[in-house]
Amino acid sequence: MAAKDLKNTVYLDTETTGLNQDRNDEMLEIAIVDNDKNILINTLVKPTRIRNWEGAQAIHGISPDDVKDVKTVKHIKDKIEGAIRGKDLVIYNAGYDVGILMNAGIDVRICNSVKCAMLEAAEIWGEWNDYFESYTWMKLGAALKASGGAWEGTSHRALSDALACRHVWNAINNR
């Protein structure tokens, strides 16, 4: 496969109050980077409804105290939309993050396209599952390792995960 031009591509990750793709989960952190690793957004976000998220906190380490004095998504919505408008948006597990974004009032239809790096990675590095007649999905860390990458920062934080997604997507498109 020839290398794809990715200059109009941005990579997004969120950390949230939940673990089970519940549509009521709220954003706690968001990061967006471009293909040159420029950080367009990297910020904590104060949830407006949920006050406690022990299960998710055990994974990403973001506590209620960490976000008590930061802006809500309503206050950064224009900045988020400005970073993704007209861009090819790539997300690892896009189905989940798109739901979080839409619930926060961010309309991803302003993007040129939305791609799921997890689904693409599964077709390359995942294993075929006869029962489900599909490739097995991989955690981001497994896809990063399979693609020859390494963490830049701490996994399960939005910026590190967005950069990992970028690496995986580049590896997929430069095969």
Q: Flag whether pLDDT at 175 surpasses 90.
A: no
Stretch 7-32: mean pLDDT: 91
| Superfamily for domain range 9-173 | Ribonuclease H-like superfamily/Ribonuclease H (3.30.420.10)
What's the pLDDT at 130? 83
56 touches 16 (CB < 8 A): yes
Of 32 and 23, which is predicted with more confidence? 32
Stretch 3-23: mean pLDDT: 88
Could you read off the pLDDT of 104-141 as tens digits, one per residue? 999 999 999 999 999 999 999 988 888 778 888 899 99
* Spatial CB neighbours of 16, under 8 Å, sequence gap ≥ 6: 25, 26, 27, 28, 53, 56, 100
